[in-house]
Structure 1
Amino acid sequence: MTRALFIVDVQNDFTEGGALAVAGGDAVARGLTAYLSAHAADYDLIIASRDWHEGHTDNGGHFATDAAPDFVDTWPVHCVADTPGADYDAELVTDAVTHHVKKGQGMPAYSLFEGTTDAGEKVSSLLSVHGVTDVDVAGLATDYCVRASALDAIEHGLRVRVLTDLVAGVALETSDAALAELAHAGAELVGAAA
Protein backbone atom coordinates (compact mmCIF):
# COMPACT_ATOMS: atom_id res chain seq x y z
CA MET A 1 0.00 0.00 0.00
CA THR A 2 1.26 3.43 -0.95
CA ARG A 3 -0.37 6.26 1.00
CA ALA A 4 -0.58 10.01 0.41
CA LEU A 5 -1.74 12.83 2.66
CA PHE A 6 -3.67 15.75 1.18
CA ILE A 7 -3.47 19.01 3.13
CA VAL A 8 -6.15 21.20 1.57
CA ASP A 9 -5.95 25.02 1.60
CA VAL A 10 -4.68 25.74 5.12
CA GLN A 11 -4.08 29.37 4.21
CA ASN A 12 -4.23 32.70 5.96
CA ASP A 13 -7.40 33.81 4.15
CA PHE A 14 -9.21 30.66 5.35
CA THR A 15 -8.07 30.83 8.97
CA GLU A 16 -9.03 33.26 11.72
CA GLY A 17 -8.61 36.87 10.59
CA GLY A 18 -8.63 35.99 6.86
CA ALA A 19 -10.94 37.16 4.08
CA LEU A 20 -12.97 33.91 4.28
CA ALA A 21 -12.08 32.75 7.76
CA VAL A 22 -13.21 29.32 8.95
CA ALA A 23 -13.69 28.99 12.71
CA GLY A 24 -11.15 26.47 13.90
CA GLY A 25 -8.78 27.04 10.97
CA ASP A 26 -5.80 27.89 13.17
CA ALA A 27 -6.50 24.80 15.29
CA VAL A 28 -6.42 22.67 12.13
CA ALA A 29 -3.04 24.23 11.21
CA ARG A 30 -1.64 23.45 14.68
CA GLY A 31 -3.13 19.97 14.63
CA LEU A 32 -1.64 19.21 11.23
CA THR A 33 1.78 20.42 12.36
CA ALA A 34 1.66 18.06 15.34
CA TYR A 35 0.32 15.25 13.14
CA LEU A 36 3.11 15.71 10.59
CA SER A 37 5.70 15.73 13.35
CA ALA A 38 4.51 12.30 14.45
CA HIS A 39 3.31 10.75 11.17
CA ALA A 40 5.04 12.28 8.12
CA ALA A 41 7.06 9.09 7.63
CA ASP A 42 3.78 7.14 7.24
CA TYR A 43 3.23 8.78 3.83
CA ASP A 44 4.98 8.34 0.51
CA LEU A 45 3.61 11.69 -0.70
CA ILE A 46 2.37 14.72 1.21
CA ILE A 47 0.59 17.13 -1.11
CA ALA A 48 -0.50 20.57 0.12
CA SER A 49 -2.80 22.76 -1.96
CA ARG A 50 -3.38 26.47 -1.97
CA ASP A 51 -5.95 28.63 -3.69
CA TRP A 52 -3.83 30.89 -5.89
CA HIS A 53 -6.13 33.36 -7.62
CA GLU A 54 -5.23 36.16 -9.98
CA GLY A 55 -5.75 39.54 -8.40
CA HIS A 56 -6.75 41.56 -11.43
CA THR A 57 -9.68 39.47 -12.69
CA ASP A 58 -12.91 37.96 -11.40
CA ASN A 59 -11.26 34.52 -11.76
CA GLY A 60 -13.86 33.12 -14.11
CA GLY A 61 -16.73 34.46 -12.05
CA HIS A 62 -15.33 33.15 -8.75
CA PHE A 63 -14.93 36.64 -7.26
CA ALA A 64 -18.06 38.73 -6.82
CA THR A 65 -17.43 41.97 -8.67
CA ASP A 66 -20.83 43.33 -9.74
CA ALA A 67 -22.95 42.21 -6.77
CA ALA A 68 -22.58 40.96 -3.25
CA PRO A 69 -21.10 37.44 -3.05
CA ASP A 70 -23.61 34.61 -2.69
CA PHE A 71 -21.09 32.38 -0.85
CA VAL A 72 -22.07 29.47 -3.10
CA ASP A 73 -20.69 30.37 -6.53
CA THR A 74 -19.29 33.84 -5.91
CA TRP A 75 -16.96 34.89 -3.13
CA PRO A 76 -15.16 37.94 -1.77
CA VAL A 77 -11.63 38.41 -3.08
CA HIS A 78 -9.38 35.87 -1.34
CA CYS A 79 -6.09 34.01 -1.71
CA VAL A 80 -4.71 36.36 -4.35
CA ALA A 81 -1.39 35.05 -5.69
CA ASP A 82 1.73 36.33 -3.95
CA THR A 83 -0.18 38.05 -1.13
CA PRO A 84 -0.13 37.16 2.58
CA GLY A 85 -3.70 35.82 2.32
CA ALA A 86 -2.53 33.10 -0.07
CA ASP A 87 0.34 32.01 2.19
CA TYR A 88 0.04 28.92 4.34
CA ASP A 89 -1.17 29.64 7.86
CA ALA A 90 1.85 30.47 10.00
CA GLU A 91 0.99 27.63 12.39
CA LEU A 92 1.26 25.01 9.64
CA VAL A 93 4.83 23.77 9.32
CA THR A 94 5.23 22.51 5.75
CA ASP A 95 8.76 21.06 5.92
CA ALA A 96 7.45 17.52 5.34
CA VAL A 97 5.32 18.48 2.32
CA THR A 98 6.66 16.76 -0.80
CA HIS A 99 4.54 18.62 -3.36
CA HIS A 100 2.91 22.06 -3.28
CA VAL A 101 -0.08 22.56 -5.58
CA LYS A 102 -1.68 25.84 -6.64
CA LYS A 103 -5.26 25.89 -7.88
CA GLY A 104 -7.80 28.42 -9.13
CA GLN A 105 -5.48 30.41 -11.34
CA GLY A 106 -7.95 32.50 -13.26
CA MET A 107 -10.90 30.18 -12.61
CA PRO A 108 -12.97 28.66 -9.82
CA ALA A 109 -11.32 25.55 -8.39
CA TYR A 110 -12.29 23.59 -5.31
CA SER A 111 -10.54 20.24 -5.67
CA LEU A 112 -6.84 19.78 -5.10
CA PHE A 113 -6.94 17.70 -8.31
CA GLU A 114 -7.59 20.93 -10.26
CA GLY A 115 -4.19 22.33 -9.32
CA THR A 116 -0.64 21.85 -10.49
CA THR A 117 2.81 22.10 -8.98
CA ASP A 118 5.12 24.91 -10.05
CA ALA A 119 6.70 22.33 -12.38
CA GLY A 120 3.31 21.78 -14.03
CA GLU A 121 2.65 18.35 -12.51
CA LYS A 122 -0.98 17.33 -12.02
CA VAL A 123 -2.00 15.58 -8.82
CA SER A 124 -3.46 12.60 -10.69
CA SER A 125 -0.11 12.08 -12.44
CA LEU A 126 1.85 12.32 -9.20
CA LEU A 127 -0.39 9.73 -7.58
CA SER A 128 -0.12 7.41 -10.57
CA VAL A 129 3.66 7.68 -10.88
CA HIS A 130 4.08 6.89 -7.19
CA GLY A 131 1.51 4.07 -7.20
CA VAL A 132 -0.65 5.70 -4.54
CA THR A 133 -3.63 3.57 -3.52
CA ASP A 134 -4.73 5.28 -0.28
CA VAL A 135 -5.23 8.94 0.59
CA ASP A 136 -5.85 10.70 3.88
CA VAL A 137 -7.50 14.11 3.53
CA ALA A 138 -7.30 17.03 5.98
CA GLY A 139 -7.61 20.82 5.83
CA LEU A 140 -10.11 23.56 4.94
CA ALA A 141 -12.95 23.82 4.37
CA THR A 142 -14.79 20.58 5.06
CA ASP A 143 -17.87 21.63 3.11
CA TYR A 144 -16.04 22.94 0.04
CA CYS A 145 -12.46 22.12 -0.92
CA VAL A 146 -11.97 19.13 1.43
CA ARG A 147 -15.24 17.67 0.13
CA ALA A 148 -14.32 18.25 -3.53
CA SER A 149 -10.79 16.85 -3.11
CA ALA A 150 -11.98 13.72 -1.30
CA LEU A 151 -14.74 13.07 -3.86
CA ASP A 152 -12.23 13.41 -6.70
CA ALA A 153 -9.87 10.99 -4.95
CA ILE A 154 -12.71 8.46 -4.67
CA GLU A 155 -13.54 9.01 -8.34
CA HIS A 156 -9.88 8.26 -9.15
CA GLY A 157 -10.30 4.85 -7.49
CA LEU A 158 -8.37 5.65 -4.32
CA ARG A 159 -9.25 4.46 -0.83
CA VAL A 160 -9.96 7.66 1.10
CA ARG A 161 -9.94 8.48 4.78
CA VAL A 162 -11.01 11.92 5.99
CA LEU A 163 -9.19 12.88 9.20
CA THR A 164 -12.21 14.40 10.91
CA ASP A 165 -10.31 16.11 13.73
CA LEU A 166 -8.03 17.82 11.20
CA VAL A 167 -10.74 19.55 9.16
CA ALA A 168 -12.94 22.57 9.77
CA GLY A 169 -15.84 23.86 7.73
CA VAL A 170 -17.70 27.05 6.93
CA ALA A 171 -20.88 25.91 8.68
CA LEU A 172 -21.81 22.97 10.88
CA GLU A 173 -24.84 21.91 8.83
CA THR A 174 -23.04 21.93 5.47
CA SER A 175 -19.93 20.33 6.97
CA ASP A 176 -21.99 17.50 8.47
CA ALA A 177 -23.74 17.05 5.12
CA ALA A 178 -20.37 16.95 3.33
CA LEU A 179 -19.03 14.29 5.70
CA ALA A 180 -22.21 12.23 5.28
CA GLU A 181 -21.91 12.52 1.49
CA LEU A 182 -18.26 11.43 1.63
CA ALA A 183 -19.07 8.45 3.83
CA HIS A 184 -21.88 7.46 1.45
CA ALA A 185 -19.41 7.73 -1.47
CA GLY A 186 -17.04 5.32 0.29
CA ALA A 187 -14.71 7.50 2.35
CA GLU A 188 -13.82 6.35 5.85
CA LEU A 189 -14.26 9.04 8.51
CA VAL A 190 -11.58 8.64 11.16
CA GLY A 191 -9.73 10.60 13.80
CA ALA A 192 -6.08 11.41 13.18
CA ALA A 193 -5.03 8.90 15.84
CA ALA A 194 -6.61 6.00 13.87
Structure 2
Amino acid sequence: MSTRALIVVDVQPTFCEGGELGVEGGNQVAADVATYAGTHRDRYGLVVTTQDWHVDPGEHFSDRPDFVTSWPVHGVAGSPNARLHPALADLAADVAVKKGQYDHGYSGFDGADDEGRRLVDVLHQAGVDAVDVVGLAESHCVKHTALDAAGLGFATRVLTDLTAPVSPELGEQARTEMAAAGVELASSGGDPLAPR
Protein backbone atom coordinates (compact mmCIF):
# COMPACT_ATOMS: atom_id res chain seq x y z
CA MET A 1 0.00 0.00 0.00
CA SER A 2 1.34 3.40 -0.98
CA THR A 3 1.98 5.98 1.74
CA ARG A 4 1.23 9.48 0.50
CA ALA A 5 2.26 12.79 2.02
CA LEU A 6 0.62 16.17 1.55
CA ILE A 7 3.22 18.91 1.13
CA VAL A 8 1.78 22.37 1.75
CA VAL A 9 4.25 24.79 0.18
CA ASP A 10 4.71 28.35 1.48
CA VAL A 11 1.11 29.20 2.36
CA GLN A 12 2.24 32.36 4.14
CA PRO A 13 0.84 35.91 4.22
CA THR A 14 4.00 37.12 2.44
CA PHE A 15 2.72 35.36 -0.72
CA CYS A 16 -0.94 36.35 -0.38
CA GLU A 17 -2.77 39.53 -1.23
CA GLY A 18 -1.30 42.37 0.82
CA GLY A 19 2.00 40.54 1.33
CA GLU A 20 5.41 41.51 0.02
CA LEU A 21 5.11 39.10 -2.92
CA GLY A 22 1.36 38.64 -2.99
CA VAL A 23 -0.09 36.23 -5.53
CA GLU A 24 -3.59 36.87 -6.79
CA GLY A 25 -5.81 34.21 -5.27
CA GLY A 26 -3.34 33.45 -2.48
CA ASN A 27 -5.80 33.93 0.37
CA GLN A 28 -8.31 31.71 -1.40
CA VAL A 29 -5.66 29.02 -1.86
CA ALA A 30 -4.94 29.20 1.88
CA ALA A 31 -8.63 28.73 2.72
CA ASP A 32 -9.07 25.94 0.16
CA VAL A 33 -5.95 24.08 1.32
CA ALA A 34 -7.18 24.28 4.92
CA THR A 35 -10.58 22.89 3.94
CA TYR A 36 -9.09 20.13 1.79
CA ALA A 37 -6.58 19.07 4.44
CA GLY A 38 -9.24 19.06 7.12
CA THR A 39 -11.54 16.91 5.01
CA HIS A 40 -8.93 14.48 3.69
CA ARG A 41 -6.39 14.34 6.53
CA ASP A 42 -6.95 10.60 6.97
CA ARG A 43 -5.79 9.93 3.40
CA TYR A 44 -2.26 11.07 4.13
CA GLY A 45 0.39 9.32 6.15
CA LEU A 46 2.15 12.64 6.67
CA VAL A 47 1.31 16.34 6.30
CA VAL A 48 4.26 18.68 5.82
CA THR A 49 4.36 22.47 5.63
CA THR A 50 7.19 24.48 4.10
CA GLN A 51 7.94 28.15 4.73
CA ASP A 52 10.27 30.71 3.23
CA TRP A 53 12.28 31.71 6.29
CA HIS A 54 14.91 34.10 5.01
CA VAL A 55 17.67 35.30 7.32
CA ASP A 56 20.31 36.45 4.83
CA PRO A 57 19.58 34.93 1.43
CA GLY A 58 22.15 37.02 -0.41
CA GLU A 59 21.29 37.95 -4.00
CA HIS A 60 17.77 36.55 -3.56
CA PHE A 61 16.85 39.94 -2.05
CA SER A 62 17.35 43.12 -4.06
CA ASP A 63 16.39 46.78 -3.97
CA ARG A 64 16.11 46.49 -7.77
CA PRO A 65 14.66 42.99 -8.21
CA ASP A 66 14.38 41.39 -11.64
CA PHE A 67 11.63 39.01 -10.41
CA VAL A 68 13.56 36.11 -11.96
CA THR A 69 16.56 35.56 -9.71
CA SER A 70 16.09 38.49 -7.32
CA TRP A 71 13.06 39.66 -5.37
CA PRO A 72 11.86 42.30 -2.93
CA VAL A 73 12.40 41.44 0.72
CA HIS A 74 9.85 38.77 1.75
CA GLY A 75 9.43 35.80 4.06
CA VAL A 76 11.75 37.29 6.68
CA ALA A 77 12.45 34.78 9.44
CA GLY A 78 10.35 35.48 12.51
CA SER A 79 8.17 38.13 10.87
CA PRO A 80 4.36 37.85 10.99
CA ASN A 81 4.15 37.45 7.20
CA ALA A 82 6.58 34.52 7.28
CA ARG A 83 4.36 32.55 9.64
CA LEU A 84 1.85 30.09 8.24
CA HIS A 85 -1.32 31.72 6.94
CA PRO A 86 -3.95 32.07 9.70
CA ALA A 87 -6.27 29.85 7.65
CA LEU A 88 -3.93 26.94 8.46
CA ALA A 89 -4.21 27.40 12.23
CA ASP A 90 -5.93 24.02 12.62
CA LEU A 91 -3.84 22.14 10.05
CA ALA A 92 -1.85 20.22 12.69
CA ALA A 93 0.99 19.37 10.32
CA ASP A 94 3.28 16.51 11.30
CA VAL A 95 6.42 18.31 10.12
CA ALA A 96 7.28 21.98 9.52
CA VAL A 97 10.15 22.64 7.12
CA LYS A 98 11.81 26.05 6.89
CA LYS A 99 13.90 26.92 3.87
CA GLY A 100 15.95 29.68 2.31
CA GLN A 101 17.63 30.97 5.45
CA TYR A 102 20.85 31.67 3.55
CA ASP A 103 19.94 30.85 -0.04
CA HIS A 104 17.11 31.06 -2.56
CA GLY A 105 15.28 28.09 -1.06
CA TYR A 106 12.82 27.62 -3.92
CA SER A 107 12.21 23.94 -3.14
CA GLY A 108 10.90 22.40 0.05
CA PHE A 109 13.71 19.88 -0.39
CA ASP A 110 16.21 22.70 0.25
CA GLY A 111 14.93 23.06 3.81
CA ALA A 112 14.91 21.24 7.12
CA ASP A 113 12.71 20.95 10.18
CA ASP A 114 13.56 22.25 13.66
CA GLU A 115 15.51 19.06 14.35
CA GLY A 116 17.65 19.63 11.28
CA ARG A 117 16.08 16.80 9.28
CA ARG A 118 15.89 17.47 5.55
CA LEU A 119 12.55 16.93 3.84
CA VAL A 120 13.71 13.93 1.83
CA ASP A 121 14.83 12.18 5.03
CA VAL A 122 11.56 13.01 6.81
CA LEU A 123 9.61 11.44 3.95
CA HIS A 124 11.79 8.34 3.79
CA GLN A 125 11.62 7.83 7.55
CA ALA A 126 7.83 7.92 7.34
CA GLY A 127 7.79 5.36 4.53
CA VAL A 128 6.34 7.87 2.06
CA ASP A 129 6.56 6.96 -1.62
CA ALA A 130 4.03 9.40 -3.09
CA VAL A 131 3.36 13.09 -2.54
CA ASP A 132 0.66 15.62 -3.33
CA VAL A 133 1.99 19.18 -3.57
CA VAL A 134 -0.18 22.27 -3.01
CA GLY A 135 0.41 25.90 -2.06
CA LEU A 136 2.20 29.01 -3.35
CA ALA A 137 3.29 29.90 -5.82
CA GLU A 138 2.64 27.30 -8.49
CA SER A 139 5.12 28.86 -10.89
CA HIS A 140 7.98 28.92 -8.41
CA CYS A 141 8.24 27.07 -5.08
CA VAL A 142 5.45 24.58 -5.84
CA LYS A 143 7.08 23.79 -9.18
CA HIS A 144 10.57 23.39 -7.73
CA THR A 145 9.31 21.23 -4.85
CA ALA A 146 7.36 19.00 -7.25
CA LEU A 147 10.28 18.68 -9.67
CA ASP A 148 12.64 17.73 -6.84
CA ALA A 149 10.15 15.21 -5.45
CA ALA A 150 9.79 13.54 -8.85
CA GLY A 151 13.56 13.60 -9.35
CA LEU A 152 14.03 11.86 -6.01
CA GLY A 153 11.70 9.06 -7.07
CA PHE A 154 8.47 10.00 -5.32
CA ALA A 155 5.26 9.54 -7.29
CA THR A 156 4.40 13.23 -7.47
CA ARG A 157 1.14 14.99 -8.06
CA VAL A 158 0.30 18.72 -7.98
CA LEU A 159 -3.30 19.52 -7.09
CA THR A 160 -3.64 22.45 -9.46
CA ASP A 161 -6.83 23.88 -7.94
CA LEU A 162 -5.01 24.24 -4.60
CA THR A 163 -2.27 26.49 -5.92
CA ALA A 164 -1.88 29.76 -7.82
CA PRO A 165 0.91 31.08 -10.06
CA VAL A 166 2.56 34.48 -10.09
CA SER A 167 0.97 35.01 -13.53
CA PRO A 168 -1.14 32.89 -15.89
CA GLU A 169 1.76 32.70 -18.35
CA LEU A 170 4.23 31.52 -15.74
CA GLY A 171 1.65 29.06 -14.44
CA GLU A 172 1.22 27.53 -17.88
CA GLN A 173 4.98 27.32 -18.32
CA ALA A 174 5.35 25.63 -14.91
CA ARG A 175 2.65 23.06 -15.67
CA THR A 176 4.33 22.21 -18.98
CA GLU A 177 7.67 21.80 -17.23
CA MET A 178 6.23 19.66 -14.44
CA ALA A 179 4.29 17.40 -16.81
CA ALA A 180 7.43 16.87 -18.90
CA ALA A 181 9.23 15.72 -15.75
CA GLY A 182 6.53 13.15 -14.97
CA VAL A 183 4.62 15.16 -12.38
CA GLU A 184 0.90 14.40 -12.50
CA LEU A 185 -1.38 17.43 -12.63
CA ALA A 186 -4.67 16.66 -10.94
CA SER A 187 -7.65 18.20 -9.17
CA SER A 188 -8.27 17.95 -5.46
CA GLY A 189 -11.66 16.51 -6.36
CA GLY A 190 -9.97 13.32 -7.50
CA ASP A 191 -9.32 10.40 -5.18
CA PRO A 192 -5.78 10.71 -3.74
CA LEU A 193 -5.76 6.95 -3.27
CA ALA A 194 -6.77 6.12 -6.83
CA PRO A 195 -4.43 3.72 -8.65
CA ARG A 196 -1.75 5.44 -10.65
- Give your verdict on TM over 0.5: yes
Task: Write the distance in 2 (CA, Å) between the matches of 1:94 and 1:111.
Answer: 24
Task: Write the distance in 1 (CA, Å) between the matches of 2:172 and 2:90.
Answer: 28
Query: What is the TM-score with the length of structure 2 in the denominator?
Result: 0.94
Alignment of 1:1-194 (within 5 A): 1-54=2-55, 57=56, 59-65=57-63, 68-194=64-190
Partner amino acid for 1:10?
V
Task: Write the distance in 2 (CA, Å) between the matches of 1:124 and 1:181.
Answer: 21
Task: Write the distance in 2 (CA, Å) between the matches of 1:193 and 1:93.
Answer: 23
Partner amino acid for 1:116?
A
Cα distance, 1:121 vs structure 2: 0.8
Cα distance, 1:88 vs structure 2: 1.2
Q: Deviations over 1:86-114 (max 9, x none)?
A: 01111223533100000000211100000
Which structure 1 residue ranges, 5 or more long, are not aligned? none
How many residues of Structure 1 are paired with residues of Structure 2 in the alignment?
A: 189
Task: Write the distance in 2 (CA, Å) between the matches of 1:20 and 1:95.
Answer: 23
Q: In the superposition, relative to structure 1, how do residues 27 and 189 fare at CA in structure 2: closer, same or farther (>3 Å)?
A: same
Task: Write the distance in 1 (CA, Å) between the matches of 2:180 and 2:89.
Answer: 32
| 4+ aligned runs moved over 3 Å, structure 1 | none
Indicate if the aligned counterparts of 1:12 and 1:89 stay in contact, CA closer than 8 A: yes
Indicate if the aligned counterparts of 1:40 and 1:96 stay in contact, CA closer than 8 A: no
| Identity of matched residues, % | 45
What secondary structure sits across from 1:82 in the alignment? coil
Task: Write the distance in 1 (CA, Å) between the matches of 2:108 and 2:152.
Answer: 13
Partner amino acid for 1:35?
Y
Partner amino acid for 1:92?
L
What secondary structure sits across from 1:145 in the alignment? helix
What secondary structure sits across from 1:61 in the alignment? helix
Task: Write the distance in 2 (CA, Å) between the matches of 1:96 and 1:159.
Answer: 24
Query: What is the TM-score with the length of structure 1 in the denominator?
Result: 0.95
Cα distance, 1:157 vs structure 2: 0.4
What secondary structure sits across from 2:98 in the alignment? strand
- What is the CA RMSD across the aligned residues, in angstroms? 1.0
Task: Write the distance in 2 (CA, Å) between the matches of 1:77 and 1:147.
Answer: 21
Task: Write the distance in 1 (CA, Å) between the matches of 2:18 and 2:51.
Answer: 17
Task: Write the distance in 2 (CA, Å) between the matches of 1:93 and 1:188.
Answer: 28
Task: Write the distance in 1 (CA, Å) between the matches of 2:69 and 2:91.
Answer: 33
Partner amino acid for 1:185?
A
Which structure 2 residue ranges, 5 or more long, are not aligned? 191-196
Task: Write the distance in 2 (CA, Å) between the matches of 1:73 and 1:94.
Answer: 34
